[in-house]
């Protein structure tokens, strides 16, 4: 029996991957990580002569470096395209997609509107990867849950408590966590909840996979008994005008030493960049239970696994 592959597929939403596909990506990421850590190279780079176009309309550290370094380490090449390639401005999104499909093997796009990545995928015949939109961040969720997998193994029944905004990172964690049978909790202030359609889809997935979604306004209730305590910046890109209002709304949602003592075995995560002293304190971020920089490194390994599955197998 032939094992199905992801070759030629898009990754637009965290819901695009089945539990078996995610587990296979975790296994491959484990292999690639071990080999690269041992030798700082791969003996037989699987993506020789493959090229990835990277479209960026938002600032980036981790997404740009991990995809570009990952392609190089796998034997391929990445081309960094900034906002000078204005999607829907100088050229339509569809025309950009049609051009790029003739030049490269895959496209990774970090945009604002989710619809831009959806249209790129619809118009291009090559794989398109969502590197972040206002709605989702599936590559972040893949790396994050790979990190949780490294610590806890089988993720069924693992409790991840997200403290803060029902944002794009939460959306992807809820969808992928539900797929893997996890309990994903969210503690958020009134008015800062997640997209209802995404929650509805995550609930459907959870019902089939044995997962669960939980919502509360109380961060202390959310983290009790959790395996993972997760937070993100209170103010995301494009929300700078709301920064002061958000600081007030989220003041009691800070992940600090007092909050994490409620669940003493939990690891602490943050997708970065962090605003130290706001959503998380430095003593927690740099403390022994933090796996924040592990999850950052795992962006490289998880995305390399994804690239290999999309382009080589």
Nearest to 143 by CA among 132, 135, 133: 132
Q: In degrees to the nearest 10, what's the CA dihedral of 89, 90, 92, 95?
A: -160
Q: What is the pLDDT of residues 135-168, one digit of tens each?
A: 999 999 999 999 999 999 999 999 999 999 999 9
Nearest to 178 by CA among 151, 153, 213: 213
CA distance 71 to 51: 8
pTM over 0.85: yes
Q: What is the pLDDT of residues 209-243, one digit of tens each?
A: 999 999 999 999 999 999 999 999 998 766 777 88
State residue 242's pLDDT score: 82
Residue 129 has pLDDT above 50, yes or no: yes
Q: In the beta sheet, which residues pair with residue 51? A: 77
Q: What is the pLDDT of residues 48-65, one digit of tens each?
A: 999 999 999 888 999 999
Residue intervals of the chain classified under CATH 3.40.50.1370 are 14-137+299-311, 139-295
Name the DSSP class of 62. H
> Which of the residues are catalytic?
110, 137, 140, 232, 271, 299
State residue 1's pLDDT score: 42
* Dmax (CA) of the chain: 57
Length of the chain: 313
**pLDDT averaged over the chain?**
95
Cis amide bond preceding 273, omega within 30: yes
Question: CB-side exposure of 104: number of CA atoms within 13 Å?
Answer: 23
Nearest to 66 by CA among 223, 240, 313, 295: 295
Which of the four CATH numbers 3.10.310.10, 3.40.50.1370, 3.40.50.970, 3.40.50.11540 does domain 139-295 have?
3.40.50.1370
For 14-137+299-311, CATH number? 3.40.50.1370
């Amino acid at each position: 029996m032939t094992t199905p592959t992801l070759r030629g597929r898009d990754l637009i939403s965290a819901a695009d991957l089945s539990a078996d596909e995610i587990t296979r990506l975790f296994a491959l990421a484990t292999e690639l990580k071990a080999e690269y850590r041992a030798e700082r190279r791969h003996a037989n780079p699987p993506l020789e002569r493959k090229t990835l176009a990277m479209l960026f309309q938002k600032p980036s550290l981790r997404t740009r470096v991990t995809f570009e370094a990952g392609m190089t380490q796998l034997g391929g090449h990445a081309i960094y395209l900034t906002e000078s390639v204005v999607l829907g401005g100088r050229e339509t999104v569809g025309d950009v997609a049609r051009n790029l499909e003739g030049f490269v093997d895959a496209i990774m796009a970090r945009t604002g509107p989710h619809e831009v990545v959806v249209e790129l995928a619809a118009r291009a015949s090559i794989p398109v990867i969502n590197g972040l939109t206002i709605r989702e961040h599936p590559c972040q969720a893949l790396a994050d849950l790979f990190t949780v997998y490294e610590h806890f193994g089988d993720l069924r029944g693992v409790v991840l408590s997200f403290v803060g905004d029902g944002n794009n990172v939460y959306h992807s964690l809820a969808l992928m966590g539900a797929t893997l049978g996890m309990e994903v909790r969210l503690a958020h202030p009134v008015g800062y909840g997640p997209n209802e359609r995404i929650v509805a889809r995550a609930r459907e997935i959870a019902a089939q996979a044995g997962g669960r979604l939980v919502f509360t306004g109380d961060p202390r209730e959310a983290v009790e008994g959790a395996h993972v305590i997760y937070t993100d910046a209170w103010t995301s890109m494009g929300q700078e005008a709301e920064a002061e209002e958000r600081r007030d709304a989220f003041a009691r949602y800070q992940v600090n030493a007092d909050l994490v003592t409620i669940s003493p075995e939990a690891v602490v995560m943050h997708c970065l960049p962090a605003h130290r002293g706001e959503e998380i304190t430095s003593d927690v971020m740099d403390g022994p239970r933090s796996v924040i920089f592990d999850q950052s490194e795992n962006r490289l390994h998880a995305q390399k696994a994804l690239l290999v599955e999309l382009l080589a197998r």
